[in-house]
């Protein structure tokens, strides 16, 4: 029997956890913790979700969290990861990327820089110039002597680490050296041949890890093109959770279909649970849900199930959004579509939209310091709250499954909202006498969002303005046609 939970939800989680976690948050946020659950629509999916966290008690369970800017900086994931690893065991830090080489902002947990010339590609680009891997970004250098550097703000624990360098291994790959603190590892041709056919190079290190450097050899007769997809840190012979943060700023839902090098890497990393945490960049600028999203989500689900038929897919919603003087009402339609697709494809559904206050709530989050003034992104405090609710919702759901063995669903009726009157769409630019068209950058915009407004591409805007990177600033005037 399908359970539409309302009264049943009372007492399904420890009251101490509830009180400690969000008791001091302002009432004006309109949090509705009745939705702090991971919904499922078949007994099999509920059991699969349970098995992910049971597995962590004796083995290693792996979470992939895909998303856009709300995931890239890693505040949300850091909060969720710490709480879940405290609960189920810590199997390692997970993946890191060199955001400095990709010309973008880094994780809150480490600083990443580069030396030399590096090309990059990101999954928000409709036609990325480089193959993209599991992290949604790729950097490549053809300059021998170039290097990548990481400094962890809090050193990784004093344990035995297994380190994987996700990089191409072909005739073009040069010799390179890896330095972890003072330890030195040489990956010359003979060493690289040991990893032929694998999507990574591996090494072991015992002790705290504070600094990591990868240096391309400037000598020898090896190749001249190093293509880097990420680096993974796990503990040797450790059970628990590995929680990978896989966010790319400005990425829409369809970005996960552009990761051509991902399947081989994901097969090695073995995800048990995958968040598809997108939507903002699909609905923000048009206030509409593109019918193509239905097919996009189905293809994404199929791609991960082709790697692991037992993988748990979590479909999420956006939060309330307010843009250019109007409430983005398409968030309600997007919420309903994700719940429908979760039911149709036997996925898990997390209704963050209603949990976080629903339609019209984001400006209250801003007034209380939980959201930025753009009414799109959250502050550090806001993302920590969201990450806490990821943990809270998982525990609530596991508790429910313990109390209702074999439950065939946990399905919550979404809220109904009174829609505001539609506002006229704003205009953004004027044409010059020559037929060229220009746009003045506003706070919160990216090249990708501007390209959507004018039905063009990031690459074309870069070409028209002589740009190599994607960094823009408010007030900057860009030619868009």
For residue 20, what pLDDT is reported?
A: 64
Please write the tens of the pLDDT for every residue from 19-70: 466 888 999 999 999 999 999 999 999 999 999 999 999 999 999 999 999 9
Indicate whether 146 pLDDT > 90. yes
What pLDDT, in 10s, does the model give residues 130-142?
Answer: 999 999 999 999 9
pLDDT at 472 over 50: yes
Average pLDDT for 94-98: 98
Return mean pLDDT, the chain: 91
**Cα torsion through 50, 54, 55, 60, rounded to 10:** 110
Residue 303's pLDDT is what? 97
SS (H, E, C) 96-110: ECCCCCCCCCCCCCE
pLDDT band at 152 (very low <50, low <70, confident <90, very high): very high
Reply yes or no on whether the pLDDT at 411 is more than 60. Answer: yes
pLDDT at 179: 98
pLDDT given for residue 78 in this prediction:
97
- Cα 172 → chain centroid: 30
Domains 7-87+240-403 and 110-235 alike in fold: no
Per-residue pLDDT reduced to its tens digit, 290-325: 999 999 999 999 999 999 999 999 999 999 999 999
Question: With 70 as the cut, is the pLDDT of residue 15 above it?
Answer: no
Rounded Cα–Cα distance for residues 280 and 275 (Å): 15
CA distances from 408 to 7, 41, 275 (A): 18, 7, 22
Residue 9: predicted pLDDT: 34
φ/ψ of 82, rounded to 5, equals -60, -45
Rounded Cα–Cα distance for residues 231 and 127 (Å) = 24
Higher pLDDT: 140 or 480? It is 140
Using the predicted structure, report yes or no on whether residue 393 has a pLDDT greater than 90: yes
Full-model pTM = 0.86
Q: What is the pLDDT of residue 423?
A: 54
What letter would DSSP give residue 480? -
Q: Quote the pLDDT of residue 32.
A: 97
CB-CB contact of 109 with 74 (8 Å): yes
**Strands 273-277 and 94-96, sheet pairing:** unpaired
Closest CA to 6 of 329, 318, 411: 411
The residue ranking higher by pLDDT, 464 or 282, is: 282
| Distances 112 to 18, 148, 184, 256 between C-alpha atoms, Å | 36, 7, 19, 24
Predicted pLDDT of residue 8 = 34
Alpha-carbon distance 423 to 421, whole Å?
6
* CB 233, CB 93: distance < 8 Å: yes
Question: CATH number of the domain at 438-479, please?
Answer: 3.10.350.10
Give the β-pairing of 312-316 and 348-350: parallel
**What pLDDT shows up at residue 284?**
97
Q: What would be the CATH architecture of the domain defined by 7-87+240-403? A: 3-Layer(aba) Sandwich (3.40)
Please indicate whether residue 3 or residue 183 has the higher confidence score (pLDDT): 183
pLDDT at 5 over 50: no
Predicted pLDDT at 352: 98
Q: How do residues 158-194 score in pLDDT, each as one tens digit?
A: 999 999 999 999 999 999 999 999 999 999 999 999 9
pLDDT at 95: 98
Domain boundaries, the chain: 7-87+240-403, 110-235, 438-479
Decide which of 442 and 111 is more confident.
111
110-235: CATH topology is Jelly Rolls (2.60.120)
């Amino acid at each position: 029997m399908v359970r539409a939970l309302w009264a049943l939800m009372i007492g399904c989680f420890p009251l101490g956890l509830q009180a400690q976690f969000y008791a001091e948050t302002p009432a004006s946020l309109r949090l509705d913790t009745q939705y702090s659950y991971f919904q499922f629509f078949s007994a099999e999916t509920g059991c699969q979700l349970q098995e992910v966290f049971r597995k962590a008690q004796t083995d290693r369970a792996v979470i992939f969290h895909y998303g856009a800017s709300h995931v890239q900086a890693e505040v949300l994931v850091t909060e969720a990861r710490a709480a879940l690893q405290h609960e189920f065991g810590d199997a390692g830090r997970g993946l890191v990327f060199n955001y400095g080489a990709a010309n973008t902002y880094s994780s809150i947990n480490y600083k990443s820089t580069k030396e030399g010339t590096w090309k990059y590609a990101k999954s928000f680009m409709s036609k990325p110039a480089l193959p993209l891997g599991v992290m949604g970004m790729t950097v490549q250098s053809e300059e021998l002597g170039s290097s990548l550097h990481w400094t962890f703000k809090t050193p990784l624990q004093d344990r035995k680490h297994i380190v994987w360098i996700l990089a191409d291994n072909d005739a073009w790959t040069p010799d390179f050296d890896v330095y972890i603190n003072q330890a030195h590892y040489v990956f010359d041709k003979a060493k690289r041949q040991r990893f032929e056919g694998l999507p990574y190079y591996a090494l072991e290190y015992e002790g705290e890890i504070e600094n990591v450097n990868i240096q391309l050899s400037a000598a020898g007769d090896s190749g001249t093109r190093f293509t880097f997809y990420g680096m993974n840190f796990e503990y040797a012979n450790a059970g628990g959770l590995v929680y990978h943060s896989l966010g790319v700023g400005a990425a829409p839902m369809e970005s996960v279909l552009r990761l051509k090098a991902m399947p081989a890497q994901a097969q090695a990393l073995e995800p048990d649970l995958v968040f598809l945490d997108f939507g903002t960049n699909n609905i923000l600028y048009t206030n509409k849900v593109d019918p193509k999203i239905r097919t996009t989500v189905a293809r994404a689900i199929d791609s991960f199930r082709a790697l692991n038929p037992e993988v748990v897919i979590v479909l999420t919603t956006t939060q309330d959004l307010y843009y250019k003087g109007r409430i983005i009402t398409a968030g309600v339609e997007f919420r309903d579509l994700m719940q429908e697709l979760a039911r149709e494809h036997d996925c898990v559904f997390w209704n963050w939209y209603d949990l976080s206050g629903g339609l019209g709530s984001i400006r209250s989050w801003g007034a209380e310091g939980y959201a930025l003034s753009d009414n799109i992104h959250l502050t550090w405090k806001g993302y920590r709250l969201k990450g806490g609710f990821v943990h809270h919702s998982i525990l609530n759901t596991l508790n429910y499954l313990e109390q209702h063995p074999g439950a065939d669903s946990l399905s919550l009726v979404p809220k109904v909202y009174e829609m505001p009157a539609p506002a006229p769409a704003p205009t953004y630019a004027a044409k010059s006498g020559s037929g060229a068209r220009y746009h003045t950058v506003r706070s919160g915009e990216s090249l990708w969002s501007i390209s959507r407004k004018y039905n063009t591409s990031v690459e074309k805007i870069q070409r028209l303005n002589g740009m190599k990177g994607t960094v823009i600033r408010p007030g900057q005037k860009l030619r868009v046609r």
